Amino acid sequence: MDVTASLAAQNYVATRPATKAQPSETAGAALSDFAQSFAATMQKGEATSQAAMTGGADAHALVEALAQTKLAIETAVTVRDKVVEAYQEILRMPV
């Protein structure tokens, strides 16, 4: 057996537990965490934009908050599309 193959196998065994799925995380808990994070991002973006309009925040903070809000909305839309797609696929299954 080659030394590099042995090292690769050892590294694989060492990192395998890090990639294992966590059974304690349920889909409902993950969705709840996602929704809370989404709401917090939206509130932070709104607060920053209001502060920028009144002169309490600089333009850089506003642009950063808007970029984070845009990313959060795009992620939410993508998740929604995947859920709808999965639901439609389930409806197409023969009974």
Q: Please tell me whether residue 21 adopts helix, strand or coil conformation.
A: coil
Q: What is the mean pLDDT of the chain?
A: 84
The residues, ordered by sequence, that sit 6+ positions from 65 with a Cβ below 8 Å of its Cβ are 44, 45, 48, 49
Give the model's pLDDT for residue 30. 84
Q: What are the pLDDT digits (tens) for 64-88? A: 999 999 999 999 999 999 999 999 9
CA distances from 95 to 9, 85, 86, 90 (A): 45, 18, 16, 10
User: What average pLDDT does range 23-47 have in this prediction?
Assistant: 85
Long-range Cβ contact pairs of 4-13 (< 8 A, separation 24 or more): none
